[in-house]
Amino acid sequence: MKEKTVSILTVDTIPGRNYDFLGCVTSSCCLSKSIIQDVSSNIRNWTVGGELKQYKAMIDQSVILVMDRIADEASRRGADMVIGFRLSTTSVSTGAAEIIGYGTAIRFIPG
């Protein structure tokens, strides 16, 4: 994961600070596993159970990509920070998931 130039927070406001709203920033990422990884995860799910580490790694990678892309978009708009950050996920097909992230880019007003 690269170092972010824009902080991303889940809070909806920054108390005691004045800022301008620059608008919504969004990103999505859709990753999938290979058929072999998908089959091996399903066998584990159907037999012994437990954490599906390959899917966890896929989702973790997707979240990192979405956050990096949102930070880049906010930075291009001149933002200091993204607030109100949220994540959502959908299953687009067997072995694939989409992560959607969104938040509000803000720029602090000096003073």
Tell me: the pLDDT tens digits for 33-60? 655 555 555 555 556 666 767 777 888 8
The CATH homologous superfamily to which domain 7-108 belongs is Hypothetical protein apc22750. Chain B (3.30.110.70)
Whole-model pTM: value is 0.76
Task: Give 10-15's long-range contacts (Cβ < 8 A, gap of 24+).
Answer: 10/83, 10/84, 10/85, 10/86, 11/83, 11/84, 12/83, 12/84, 13/83, 14/81, 14/83, 14/106
**49-91 confidence digits (pLDDT tens):** 667 677 778 888 889 999 999 999 999 999 999 999 999 988 7
Contacts 24+ apart (CB under 8 A), 88-96: 89/59, 92/30, 93/32, 94/38, 95/32, 95/33, 95/35, 95/37, 95/38, 95/41, 96/30, 96/31, 96/32, 96/33
| Domain extent listing, the chain | 7-108
Q: Give the per-residue pLDDT at 53.
A: 75
